[in-house]
Amino acid sequence: MPPRLPDPRSGLVLDTHELSRRAGTLKEVTRVAEAPADLGIEVIGVPPGSPVDLSLRLESVVEGVLVTGTAKVRLSGNCARCLDEISRTEEVDLQELFCYPGKELDDAEALRIEGEMIDLEPVLRDAVVLDLPFTPLCRPDCAGLCPDCGANLNRDPDHGHAEPTDPRWAGLEGWTEPTNEPNNKE
CB 125, CB 132: distance < 8 Å:
no
Q: What is the pLDDT of residues 15-52, one digit of tens each?
A: 887 877 777 788 899 999 999 988 988 889 999 999 99
Contact of 43 with 78, CB cutoff 8 Å:
yes
Measured CA to CA, the distance from residue 46 to residue 29 in angstroms comes to 22
CB neighbour burial string for 95-104, b if at least 16 within 10 angstroms, e if fewer:
ebbbbbeeee
What are the phi and psi torsion angles at 90 (to 5°)?
Answer: -125, 145
User: So what's the pLDDT on residue 184?
Assistant: 59
Summarised one tens digit per residue, pLDDT across range 73-90 is 999 999 999 999 999 999
Separation of alpha carbons 149 and 33, rounded Å: 44
Q: What does the pLDDT look like over 90-110, one tens digit per residue?
A: 999 999 998 887 766 666 667
Examine the pLDDT at 153 and tell me if it is beyond 80: yes
Helix (H) or strand (E) holding 66: strand 64-78
Positive or negative, the CA dihedral 110, 115, 120, 122 is: negative
Checking if the pLDDT of 173 tops 50, the result is: yes
Rounded to a whole number of angstroms, the distance between the first and last alpha carbons of the chain is 104
As a whole number, the mean pLDDT across the chain is 84
% of the chain exceeding 90 in pLDDT: 43
CA 77, CA 100: separation in Å to the nearest integer? 38
The fraction of the chain above a pLDDT of 70, given in percent, is 86
CA distance 155 to 11: 42
Please check the confidence at residue 182 and state whether its pLDDT lies above 70: no
Q: Within 10 Å of residue 30's Cβ, how many Cβ atoms? A: 9
pLDDT at 152 over 60: yes
> Whole-angstrom Cα distance, residue 128 to residue 131?
5
Q: Give the whole-angstrom CA distance, residue 76 versus residue 86.
A: 6
